Amino acid sequence: MITIYSDENGDREAAEQLSRQLGVPIADGMGELTLVLDGTGLSLAGYGMRYQGDFSRMLNRVTKGRLHHEMLVKLAKTKAEHPVAVDAAAGMGEDSFLLAAAGYEVYLFEQDAVIAALLQDALRRAGEDERLRGIVGRMHLSEGDSIALMPRLGVTPEIVYLDPMFPPRKKSGLIHKKLQLIQKLEQPCANERELYDAAAALHPKKIIIKRPLNGALLADKKPSYTVKGKAIRYDVVVL
């Protein structure tokens, strides 16, 4: 069970608001899995780990000419003046951040209310950082199931991005600490076909699907082409 804990530096009112929003109780101390509100913002703690979304950690990937080496950014290359992307499975928004850094206006959907709250808080903090403000200003998060919400978007994006699951990985390290904690909240995607169909119904130019390197196709959809990285691959469906 998740609880919320706010220490003496945390905003008690914000904790109460979050408790109402998520239907999660406030506790006097840390539990097994705890949303912690303190002077640094919102983080998730448990099992001896702590995770907080922090887009400043991604600055090295988007500066000094490195952004255009990102596989996703290469695949998303467009001539559109004001390109729009939809991230239908936002997670902690890192891939969306790359797209936003590349100039995309990105509409993000995240169905898990706790992950969405962690992401919203990371976006809020990034908005206070002048190095990140311009990028996260192009990221628009909605909490909820993208299958239900995408049809109401009212824009035709260049791309829809689908990365609906975290495959477990073996290596250790910071990113894996994040994966382990966030994975405790994630539900596996049970409706890949509906997710794909809702993405296609937006009539994007491309649907870009992130998969584990040797993972099965999403919804059995044969891609127009595939690009492989070390641990993941992108299946691209050109529509």
CB 233 within 8 A of CB 239: no
Q: Does the protein bind ligand SAM through residue 109 (CB under 6 A)?
A: yes
* Closest to ligand SAM by CB, 6 or 86: 86
Q: Does the protein bind ligand SAM through residue 202 (CB under 6 A)?
A: no
Applying CB under 6 A, the span of 29-37, 58-66, 104-112, 152-160 interacting with ligand SAM comes to 104-112
Q: Does the protein bind ligand SAM through residue 208 (CB under 6 A)?
A: no
- Taking phi over 0 as left and psi of -120 to 50 as alpha, with beta for the rest, 109 belongs to beta
- In the complex, what is the shortest distance from the CB of residue 81 to ligand SAM, in angstroms, rounded to a whole number? 25
Tokens linked to 180? 């382990």
* CA separation for the pair 119, 170 (Å, rounded): 25
Tokens linked to 125? 């903090």
12-22 and 113-127 helices cross at what angle (nearest 10)?
A: 140
Q: Does the protein bind ligand SAM through residue 93 (CB under 6 A)?
A: yes
* Closest to ligand SAM by CB, 134 or 144: 144
* Closest to ligand SAM by CB, 4 or 160: 160
Q: Does the protein bind ligand SAM through residue 70 (CB under 6 A)?
A: no
Q: Does the protein bind ligand SAM through residue 94 (CB under 6 A)?
A: yes
For tokens 């400043």, the residue is 56
* CA separation for the pair 214, 232 (Å, rounded): 8
* Closest to ligand SAM by CB, 94 or 235: 94
* Closest to ligand SAM by CB, 71 or 166: 166
Q: According to CB under 6 A, which one of 132, 160, 195, 208 is a site residue for ligand SAM? A: 195
* CA separation for the pair 87, 18 (Å, rounded): 24
Interactions with ligand SAM, residue window 125-154 (CB under 6 A): 145-147
Question: Using CB atoms, what's the residue nearest to ligand SAM?
Answer: 91
Q: According to CB under 6 A, which one of 95, 105, 121, 158 is a site residue for ligand SAM? A: 95
Judged by the rule CB under 6 A, the positions of this chain that interact with ligand SAM are 88-89, 91-95, 109-112, 115, 145-147, 163-166, 186, 189, 195
